[in-house]
Structure 1
């Protein structure tokens, strides 16, 4: 029996520090989450025996691609100023990226800004790409 489902970005819940992410750039990768490391590594001994080591690294990068007029872009600029001024764990903030239909996505309680966007001006508007980093991304198990 074939599985039928649907997807719509309007069925997602995405927040930075409790505020809904607004002004996302166009495209299929407006928000992307990538693990910081592989989930483990395989070691094969000289005799062919195998040992899999599970990584304790639960970190991730969260990339937000925003319009320059986005309220979230402004919020992240403010957070960057604070992060640079304090250089303290107190500057961490939560991020949620979650598909309410499929259950896919997750949360990170303590994110920092790893990379700020390049500010470019020209004929057309350009994306503002923010890269956030967390030591622990808690992924949800999608609905079955």
Structure 2
């Protein structure tokens, strides 16, 4: 018999510095984590023998898309101001997200604001995309459905 599963964003929760991320933008890419490097690099020598070098890079960029009226957008504006004022590791803050249905997600104790969103005004509301960066992303191991 075929195996059936389901997905709902209702099962996804994210926290930023201990506060629930609120006011996410619409779409399939409200939260996106992009690893900083490939898991490794393969090399094949002239005689055909190979070696795989495993990367120690655990960095990641985390894109969080929110509405301009989002409390999370306001919090990130405050965090950016603090980051600029301190200019040190003390400005880092924790971020995590989890899909409780599959256990996919991850966390980091120290993220920094890498890119602020553009501020655009016009006929319709426009997304505010924040890009966070961490040197140590800890991915969760998904369930087997």
Normalising TM by the smaller chain, what interval? Answer: over 0.9
Query: Which consecutive unaligned segments of at least 5 residues does structure 1 have?
Result: none
What is the DSSP-based 3-state SS (H/G/I as helix, E as strand, rest coil) of the residue aligned with 1:110? Answer: strand
Q: Which residue of 1 aligns with 2:79?
A: 79
- State how far apart, in whole Å, the 2-side matches of 1:20 and 1:9 are: 14
- State how far apart, in whole Å, the 2-side matches of 1:104 and 1:3 are: 19
- State how far apart, in whole Å, the 2-side matches of 1:109 and 1:122 are: 37
Q: Which residue of 1 aligns with 2:130?
A: 130
User: What pairs with 1:101-112 in structure 2 (closer than 5 Å)?
Assistant: 101-112=101-112
What is the DSSP-based 3-state SS (H/G/I as helix, E as strand, rest coil) of the residue aligned with 2:23? Answer: coil
Q: Which residue of 1 aligns with 2:9?
A: 9
- State how far apart, in whole Å, the 1-side matches of 2:3 and 2:88 are: 48
Work out the number of aligned pairs and report it.
144
Give per-residue Cα distances to partners, 1:44-99, cap 9 Å, x unaligned: 11111100000000111110001000000000000000000111101111111110
Q: Which residue of 1 aligns with 2:22?
A: 22
Give per-residue Cα distances to partners, 1:1-39, cap 9 Å, x unaligned: 322111111111211011010000000100000100111
- State how far apart, in whole Å, the 1-side matches of 2:108 and 2:6 are: 26
User: What pairs with 1:3-82 in structure 2 (closer than 5 Å)?
Assistant: 3-82=3-82
Q: TM-score, normalised by structure 1?
A: 0.98
What is the Cα deviation at residue 143 of structure 1?
0.6
- State how far apart, in whole Å, the 2-side matches of 1:4 and 1:90 are: 46
What is the DSSP-based 3-state SS (H/G/I as helix, E as strand, rest coil) of the residue aligned with 1:83? Answer: helix
Find out whether 1:141 has 2:141 as its counterpart. Answer: yes
- State how far apart, in whole Å, the 2-side matches of 1:6 and 1:105 are: 17
